[in-house]
Structure 1
Amino acid sequence: MVSITGFWNIYFGPDSDPTFYQNLHVFTTFLWLGLILAQLVYIDSRKNSIHRRLGNSIFVVGPILIATLVLLSVHSASKSAARGEADMLVIQNIFPALEVAILILLGFLFRKNRMLHGHFLMSTSLLFFGIALFFTLISFIPGYKIEGPETFYRFETAGITATYIGVAFGLLLFIFQRKSGWPWLLVSILFFVNGYIGELIERADKMVAFTAYIGSINEYVAFLSALLVVLAVLILSFSKRKVTTN
C-alpha cells in the first residue's frame, strides 16, 4: 500500500508523465513484492511443493529486479550530471540496489535454513518500504510536501522520518524473532549506513562528483552487468550447494 502511494504522483499526479524507466521500475518492484506475497500465501496454506517451484523464479526475477534498480540509479544520476548538479537521490538509489542484491543472495544461500531464508527475502521489502514512504511523505503529508524552492529542505526531513520509521519496523520484527530475525536488524543498520555515507560525501563536497561518476556509466552496460553478475552468483551458489549436498 505504501508503494502505491509512493508511486501515485508519477501516474495520477497533476504533472504525471511516467517514463519508460519508471514503468519498468514499478513493474519489477511489484513483481518482486507480489512474489514474496505469493510465497507467504503458499507457506501459510502448506503448499510447500508449489512454494519451492515458484522459488525457482528467483533466477529470473532476482537478476531483473537488481538490474532495473541499477539502471534507474544510473539514469537518474546521468540526468542530474548533464545539468552539472548533484542527484539528491543518488545515495538512496544506488546503495539500496546493491543491498537488495546482497539480501537476495544471502536468502538464496541460506535456503536450507527456512527461517533465515524467509527473513532475508522478506527484509528486502523494508528497503522498498523506506523509499516508498519517503515519496509518500513528500507527496501527501503536510509539513513534508515540496511546494517550492523554499521547501526543498523537506527532502531531508522526509528522508530522516522515513528512516526512523523503517528502522522502528525493522527493530520490532527483530525483537519478535530474535533467534533468526537478525536480517531485519541488518536492514535497520543499513538505513543508518546509507545516511552516514551520504553525509560523508556531502561534508567532502563530493556529491556532484559522485553523481557525475554514477551518471557516466553506460546504462546498457550497467543493466547487463548487474543482470549477469547476479545471475552468475545465483547459479554458482546453487551449483556449489548441490555438489556439497551430494
Structure 2
Amino acid sequence: MIKFKKYIFEYALLILVILLSITGFWKIYFGENANPTPYQTLHVITSLLWLFLLLFQLRLIGNKQYMHHRKIGLSILIMGPLLVATTALLSVHSAHKGLVSGDGDFLIVQNVMGTLELGFVILLAFILKKNRKLHGAFLLSSAIIFMGIALFFTLISFVPQFRIEGPETFYRFITAAATARYICIFIGLLFFLKDRRNGWPLLLVSLFFSLNDYINTLLIKNKLIQPLTEFVGSLNQVTTFLGSFIILLILLTLLVMPTKRRVLAG
C-alpha cells in the first residue's frame, strides 16, 4: 500500500488514460454506424499495449524490481518505434481519406505534430536515461499525448454540450479541443507542482496541444492546411510505416547499446 501511495498520481494518470482511450474509440467500434478501419485497430492496439507497458513498468519500479524493469524496458526498442510508426500510418491514411472525400482532414496538424512529438518524447526519455526520474517522467508524459486526443473524442461522443448535431454545431469541435487541452495542462501542472525538479516533462508535453493549436491557426491564416494535407495524404503508407519504424529503432538502439556494452564488459 505504501508503495502504491508513492506513485498514486502516476497510477491514476495511466488508468485514466486507458479508460479515456476506451471511451474515445468506443463509437468507432460499438456506435450506431461502427466501421473501424484496420489502421484504427492497429493504432488502438499499439496505444493500449504502450499504456499497459508503462503501467507494468511503474509496478516494477514500485516493487523495486529494477533488474526486471531494465529487461522489460528493452522492449521499448521495438514497442516505441512500432507505436510511432502506427501513428504516422494513421496520419497518412486520415489525410488521404480527407483528400479523396473532399472534406479535408481537420486533425491534420494534430496527427502530424502528435506523431513527431511522440517520437521526440520517447527519444528524450533515452537521451536522459542516466537520470532515472527524468527518464521515467518523459516516458510517462507520452500518456498525456494519448489523453488529449482520447479526451477530445470522449467529449464529442458522450457529453451533450460537445456533441456535433449538424453544421450549426461544428464550433463544438473547437470547444471540445480547447477543453481537452486545458485539462491536459492542468494535469501537467499538477505533476510539476508535485515535483518541480522531475515533473516538468509532463507539463512540457501538456503544452504541446497549445503549440499544435497555434501552428494550426498559423497554417489556416496562410492557407497552408490544404497543401499540408495533400503532401501527407500523398505519402506512401508502407514507406511511411517502415521509415518511421526504422529511423526511431536505429536512434533508440544507438542510445541504448553503448550502455549495454559497458555492462557486458564489466
TM-score w.r.t. length of structure 2: 0.89
- Give per-residue Cα distances to partners, 1:170-227, cap 9 Å, x unaligned: 1111111101112112112212111100000111122122111110111111101100
Q: CA deviation at 1:42?
A: 1.0
Q: CA deviation at 1:169?
A: 0.6
Matched, 1:62 2:80: yes
Matching residue's letter, 1:222: T
- Give per-residue Cα distances to partners, 1:104-141, cap 9 Å, x unaligned: 11111222211001100000000100000000000000
Q: Name the counterpart of 2:201.
A: 183
Matched, 1:43 2:68: no
Structure 2 unaligned spans of 5+: 1-18
Q: In 2, Cα distance between the equivalents of 1:240 and 1:39?
A: 22
Q: CA deviation at 1:240?
A: 4.3
Matching residue's letter, 1:209: P
Report if aligned partners of 1:9, 1:16 keep a CA contact under 8 Å in 2: yes
- Give per-residue Cα distances to partners, 1:42-94, cap 9 Å, x unaligned: 11122222111100101110110000000000000011112344210111111
Q: Name the counterpart of 1:120.
A: 138
Q: Name the counterpart of 1:220.
A: 238
For the aligned residues, what is the CA RMSD? 1.5
Report if aligned partners of 1:146, 1:155 keep a CA contact under 8 Å in 2: yes
Matching residue's letter, 1:134: F
Aligned residues: 246
Q: Name the counterpart of 2:6.
A: none
Alignment of 1:136-175 (within 5 A): 136-175=154-193
TM-score w.r.t. length of structure 1: 0.96
Report if aligned partners of 1:84, 1:208 keep a CA contact under 8 Å in 2: no
The partner residue of 2:211 within 179, 193, 203 is 193
Matched, 1:12 2:30: yes
Report if aligned partners of 1:86, 1:208 keep a CA contact under 8 Å in 2: yes
Partner secondary structure for residue 207 of structure 2: helix
Q: In 2, Cα distance between the equivalents of 1:57 and 1:228?
A: 15
Q: Name the counterpart of 2:124.
A: 106
Q: Name the counterpart of 1:29.
A: 47
Q: In 2, Cα distance between the equivalents of 1:214 and 1:11?
A: 26
